Each structure stands twice: as C-alpha cells, then as structure tokens.
Chains A and B, each alone.
Chain A
Amino acid sequence: GQQLNQSPQSMFIQEGEDVSMNCTSSSIFNTWLWYKQDPGEGPVLLIALYKAGELTSNGRLTAQFGITRKDSFLNISASIPSDVGIYFCAGSNTGGFKTIFGAGTRLFVKA
C-alpha cells in the first residue's frame, strides 16, 4: 500500500536555528498536508498544498509540494521554544481515497 517516509525522526536544535524536514513517497499524491501535534492534543493543520511545485508560507513556516508529486518538505526558520512538538506530513488523493500519514518528526528546541 501507499507509504510515506518522513525524515528525520527527531531533531535537537538550538533556538534560532532553521529546521528542515521532508516526506517522500513511491506514490503520487494530489494533496500534501503538514500538521503539528503538541503533547496531549490533536494535530493542527499548518500548511496545505494542492499543486505540484507549489511553495506556500505560513509565518516562519514554508512548505513545498514536490514537482514529481511524490515528495514535500517543511522548513521552519528562526526556531523558537514553542516550535517543539511532532510534525506530521500527510498525502491524499481526491475522490475519497485515504489520507496517509508519515511517522512524524519530533522537534526539540533548546533555549
């Protein structure tokens, strides 16, 4: 079945550093989504990407929908302590197909 490979699994960074994480798949997706989950909470949508090649920003976050439609990355610039959490990528296709989630990237930010 479809799978997403999300990397890295975890990151330990210093406050102020930039962060990059990515997801790859052997399958094509029409939609790429990035979520952040805080401990004990549900995932919160950060960025949604709907077109191949699309580059979208949300504050300090930037995400791109790969041109091959098989990958996406998320960048966080100038990280701050509240960026700590688990970041999930997700891919889906229109027509009611299931959304597939990556395993998550755990981000730790040291002040």
Chain B
Amino acid sequence: GAVVSQHPSWVICKSGTSVKIECRSLDFQATTMFWYRQFPKQSLMLMATSNEGSKATYEQGVEKDKFLINHASLTLSTLTVTSAHPEDSSFYICSARDDTSGTDTQYFGPGTRLTVL
C-alpha cells in the first residue's frame, strides 16, 4: 500500500520550454501532496504544498508563476516548470499524505530528473 508514482522519471528539454511532471497516489487518496527539489548531495527542499481543490502554498523564494501546481483530483497533482532554464535542472520529488491514515506520514514518489539544455 501507499504507493506514489511520478511521470516522467526523467526528461531532457530545451531552454525556454515548459515541462509537466505528474504525481499520482495509486492506492490511496491524498488531499495534500508536496513537491520537493533536491540538488546533488543535499537534502530535500520543500517547494510547495499542493491542496486538492485549492491553490498551492509556496515556500519562500519559490516563484509560483514559474512552478505551476495543479491538484485537480484526490490522486493527482502536477508540477509544470514554465520557461525552463538550465538552472532549473534538478531532481524533483513529490510526496503524498494518506487522507485515511490519520497521521502526517508522507509517501514519496520515485522522483523526476529534469535536465534543461
């Protein structure tokens, strides 16, 4: 149980293009999902909290117009990196909180490696 998938697992794009990353909770419903960014040899950096049916909450320093988040259903959140630039290259990981667990435990997806040329 508590499986989270991400798609794609990796993507290479040209500078200036937009990239959409999907995060799905496969066997549970998740009103709340989270998007993290991780640089090599560093810890997870929370970018935003995605709430189903409402606007995402962004962490300080994260541009909401640059990183668009849509949480349209209880099992799907998407992160769109708009007008990507090489400095956006990173490992993006989502996590989801099981609505029925009654706990704050987060289950992570396998991550998406974005490379912007």
Q: Is A73 an interface residue (CB 8 A)?
A: no
Q: Does A44 touch B at the CB level, under 8 Å?
A: yes
- Count residues of chain A with CB under 8 A from any CB of chain B: 25
Q: Which residue of A lies closest to B109 (CB)?
A: A42
**Chain A 43-71: CB-based contact to B (< 8 A → 1; otherwise 0):** 11100101000000000000000000000
Q: Are A42 and B108 in contact (CB under 8 A)?
A: yes
Q: Are B43 and A92 in contact (CB under 8 A)?
A: no
In the complex, how many residue pairs between chain A and chain B have their CB atoms under 8 Å apart? Answer: 53
Give the residues from 71 to 110 in chain B that come closer than 8 angstroms, CB to CB, to chain A: 91, 93, 95, 103-110
- How many positions in chain B have a CB within 8 Å of any CB in the partner chain? 23
A88 to B106, CA, bound (A): 13
Say yes or no: A45-B6 contact (C-beta < 8 A), given A98-B46, A102-B43.
no
Residues of A within 8 A of B43 (CB): 88, 101-104
Which of B103, B104, B108 touches A43 (beta carbons < 8 Å)?
Answer: B108
Chain A: minimal CB distance from B59 (Å): 9
A31's partner among B34, B44, B103, B107 (CB-CB below 8 A) is: B103
**A88-B43, A88-B44 given; A42·B105 CB < 8 A:** no
Taking a contact as CB atoms under 8 Å apart, the answer to whether A50 and B103 are in contact is: yes
- Asked if A48 and B113 sit within 8 Å, CB to CB, the answer is no
Residues of chain B within 8 A (CB-CB) of A88 are 43-44
Segment 1-36 of B: residues with Cβ below 8 Å from A = 2, 4, 6, 32, 34
- Top 10 A-B pairs, shortest CB-CB distance: A42-B108, A92-B104, A42-B111, A42-B110, A43-B108, A103-B43, A42-B93, A48-B105, A101-B44, A42-B109
Residues of A within 8 A of B (CB): 30-31, 33, 35, 40-45, 48, 50, 88, 90, 92-94, 96-99, 101-104
